[in-house]
Amino acid sequence: MKLTGSEIVCEALIKEGVDTVFGLPGGAILPFYQTLSGYPQLRHILVRHEQGAVMAADGYARATGKVGVCISTSGPGATNMVTGLAVAMMDSVPIVAITGQVARPAIGTDAFQETDVTGVTLPVTKHNYLVMNAADLPRILKEAFFVARSGKPGPVLIDIPKDVQTELADFDYSIELDLPIQTPILKGKDSDIKKAIKMIEKAERPLILAGHGVILSQAYEELKEFSEKSQIPVVTTLLGLSAMKSNHVLNLGLPGMHGSAFANKAIDEADLIIAIGMRFDDRVTGNLKTFATKARIIHIDIDPSEIGKNILPEIAIVGDAGTVLRQLLPLSPKKTHPKWLQEIDQLRINHPLSYPETDRILPQFIVEEISRITKGQSIIVTGVGQHQMWAGQLYEFKDNNLFISSGGVGAMGFEVPAALGAQVGQPDKVVWTIAGDGGFQMTLTELATMVEANAPVKIALINNFSLGMVRQWQELFYEKDYFATLYTGNPDWVKLADAYGIKGIKVTEKDGVETAIEQAMNTPGPVLVDFQVDKEENVYPFIPPGGGVEQLIEYPDTKVV
Amino acid sequence: MTTKNTKNTIPSRTVTALVNDKPGVLNRITSMLRRRGFNIQSLAVGHSEIEHLSRLTVVVEGGDDIVEKITKQLHKLIDIIKVNDISDDNIVSRELALIKVNSDTKTRSEIMQIVSIYRAKIVDVSSSSIIIEATGDDQKIKALQDLLSSFGIVEVMRTGLIAMNREKK
């Protein structure tokens, strides 16, 4: 029996284990939507802007480990997804995006709502397809899901002309894929494993630098065991946060531009760095010339093109983080490094992540209170900027895979839709989004989607009436010229929450912080808490861009009250 | 693409690839090279001996480290079947050039002599110019171009290098 292109897509989605899709219809995708309405097993969540669809799919994918699916129409619908695709591309998140396209005869004629979507999204997708025959759809869908998941995951876009959506074709999903070089190498070479073990045996001051790859590979136990067996302390990149529980004695947390002084100094003092599933991003390394100058480097990554891209390692192990760790574990030496660990403890004592005791509401205090009240068990979704850094520094993750943030692209506006997606994917978990008043106003339209989707996300709005991080850079590098960063026309957030039919709480006194967080937790449905924080608080430590650990600025004493 | 008459001192590497013969594949390749900041010196594509597959030869600026990055990035493109850096291999490489040179009755025979020494061909003659077809590697084409420059080169069109590994004897 022949199916329409739209039916083929729906059947393929079901075969791929999809049960939730995020989207917003329009002219060129309407045939598909009519078909989708007959598939109640595919839950459709109607967003208010296509950027919300792709970012919700992203949050969903990160929280569940499944492929996120988003749908939009042609032209503006598809171009609205570009930022979200870029986020998923840079942060290695598996997404399949389906876009409508004008009918085949109209392609290339500048038809209404026609955009060259495969052209526009080429650099921000792992691969994309323009489907010119419905008969190709089964293979393309199967390939798309395979490519999105395999190796280093990423977004794949499928652009389907309107008349292909109604064209009849056979549906056979048992086809074999023919992607010769797309079989990722999962297992490290034995010879490299042996060499790495020798280096670990010799090392006196080893350090693990764990990234998002550990989380994507769900290698939490392996990382913990490996670290414990040879007593190797761990620092995690922003996207590697919660790869290891924050309260583990060997976990030093976040390094880099806004990482702790002790994590950065540990990198600087290490004689061996074992980098696992991370890509030596500039926010981690700062100046490459002064980064980890005393260390030999082992780089483990599933993507061969990451090896030597920024840092040339002595040993490169191409493979999946979990698989390689399982190879290393039985061979790794039982060791202790009392001197090194003592030194690190001393660094922790001498250079703690600190902020002043004060009556003002400091964002750091809010993050710590959320951490305490949620017992470190909440999924934390952030936007981009100061609040993101405070969340990364201070939330104590007591479980794995709890931190969702736009790391590489750094897209403000990620916080609301990604939290929505995470909550839809993990309905039994508490989801807090820590947002800034800048990014929140980019995508707050998805509050309506949260209400419709029954996604009880708790929103902590770190409201400093400014684009805080940009303002901080102006303060430190641009002669305090606060041009175009101060918000004087923010709405009344409690009234806004009320307009959406959700609970809104305003907090203007430090005493109100704890109560507000508890009230938010105890109120069913989404809650928006407007924390009116100290407007001038800055993020420290801070290594100025392009600098090294010697330029690290700790919390200025003058600000301590 | 660089078309310098002076001797090229920028190091370059030759990469060949077997790719799907589908619309947009070349765009994927050049887009990746552009996005990552790699400079293409020449690029030639054509059908291969296998149906639905094309072969391309790309000459890129840079040394070993650059070409390693390029081949790794190319490998990640779904439509690329195989990539080889053949710069250090025993290869045959050729390029075809059409060179239009000013020429009148006085200079014609001298140009014809040069053309014959270089085993090139004259493919068109007019009262004021000659079109020469030359095949060879980059060095040979450049040397011929240098010699002809004294007569006044009107136009040069080059296909870009194509290359193939020699079989082991």
Q: How far apart are the C-alpha atoms of A282 and A240, rounded to whole Å? A: 15
Kindly determine whether residue A309 and residue B69, on different chains, have CB atoms separated by under 8 Å. yes
* Residue A182, pLDDT score: 62
Chain B residues with CB-CB distance to A126 below 8 A? 76, 78
pLDDT at residue number B5:
40
Mean pLDDT of A14-23: 98
Instruction: Tell me, yes or no, whether B31 and B73 share the same domain.
Output: yes
CATH code assigned at A63: 3.40.50.970
* Confidence band for A144, pLDDT divided at 50, 70 and 90: very high
Report how many domains make up chain A. Answer: 3
**Same domain, residue pair A51 and A99:** yes
Is A357 assigned a catalytic role? no
Q: Which stretch of A189-198, A475-484, B86-95 has the lowest confidence by average pLDDT?
A: B86-95
The enclosing domain of A229 has a CATH number of 3.40.50.1220
CATH number for B31: 3.30.70.260
Q: Are residues A378 and A488 in the same domain?
A: yes
Q: What is the pLDDT of residue A559?
A: 43
> Residue A312: helix, strand or coil by DSSP?
coil
pLDDT number for residue A404: 98
Residue B9 pLDDT exceeds 80 = no
What domain range is B71 assigned to?
A: 12-85
Task: Specify if B6 maps to a domain.
Answer: no
Q: What percent of chain A has pLDDT over 70?
A: 99
Q: Does A178 reside within a domain?
A: no
Q: Do A132 and A56 fall into the same domain?
A: yes
Is B81 within 8 Å of A180 when comparing Cβ atoms? yes
Q: Which of A74-78, A355-359, A415-419, A455-459 has the lowest mean pLDDT?
A: A355-359
Residues B69 and B130 in one domain: no
Please indicate, yes or no, whether residues B20 and B76 belong to a single structural domain of this protein: yes
Q: Is A163 exposed, middle or buried (0-12, 13-18, 19+ CB in 10 A)?
A: middle
**Residue-wise pLDDT tens digits, A73-110:** 999 999 999 999 999 999 999 999 999 999 999 999 99
Write out the DSSP string of A458-492. EEEEEE-SB-HHHHHHHHHHSTT--TT-B-S----
Determine what percent of chain B falls in helix, strand and coil, rounding each to the nearest 5. 30, 40, 30
B7 in any annotated domain: no
Which stretch of A11-25, A437-451, B25-39 has the lowest confidence by average pLDDT? B25-39
Q: Collapse the DSSP code of B155 into the 3-class scheme (helix H, G, I; strand E, B; otherwise coil) and give the result.
A: strand
Same domain as A142, residue A276: no
Same domain, B51 and B70: yes
Do A211 and A343 sit in the same domain of this protein? yes
A507 occurs within a structural domain:
yes
Tokens describing residue B69 = 């990055």
Q: Are strands A379-382 and A403-404 parallel, antiparallel or unpaired?
A: parallel
Confidence of residue A1 (pLDDT cuts 50, 70, 90): confident
Q: Which residue among B31, B73, B75 sits closest to A181, beta carbon to beta carbon?
A: B75
Range 54-83 of B in CB contact (< 8 A) with A: 65, 68-69, 72-73, 75-78, 80-82
Instruction: State pLDDT tens for residues A231-283.
Output: 999 999 999 999 999 999 999 999 999 999 999 999 999 999 999 999 999 99
Residue B6 has pLDDT above 60, yes or no: no
In the prediction, which pLDDT does A378 show?
A: 98
pLDDT for res A181 = 58
R_g (Cα) of chain A, nearest Å: 24
CB contact under 8 A, A127 and B27: no
Question: Which residues between 115 and 134 in chain B have a beta carbon less than 8 angstroms from any beta carbon of chain A?
Answer: none
> Which residue in A59, A20, A57, A92 sits closest to A415, CA to CA?
A59
Q: What is the pLDDT of residues A372-385, one digit of tens each?
A: 999 999 999 999 99
If one counts the domains in chain B, the total is 2
Closest Cα of chain A to B76: distance in Å?
Answer: 8
Among this protein's residues, is A162 annotated catalytic?
Answer: yes
Are A181 and B31 within 8 A, CB to CB? no
Residue B1 reports pLDDT greater than 50? no
- Neighbouring CB atoms inside 10 A of A525's CB total 14
**Mean pLDDT of all residues belonging to chain A:** 96
pLDDT at A9: 98
| Residue ending a domain, choose from B28, B59, B85 | B85
Q: What is the ipTM of this complex?
A: 0.85
A560 has pLDDT over 50: no
Identify whether residues A450 and A482 lie together within a single domain. Answer: yes
Range of A346's domain?
A: 190-350
Helices A363-373, A512-522: axis angle to 10 degrees equals 40
The residues, any chain, with a CB within 8 Å of residue B13's CB and separated by 6 or more, are B59, B60, B62, B63, B64, B66, B67, B70, B85, B87
Whole-model pTM: value is 0.93
Task: Sort strands B129-136 and B91-102 into parallel, antiparallel or unpaired.
Answer: antiparallel
Gap between the Cα atoms of A290 and A543, Å rounded: 12
Residue with tokens 């902590």: A460
In a domain, A208, yes or no: yes
Mutation site, A90, A92, A122, interface B, largest B CB count within 10 A: A122
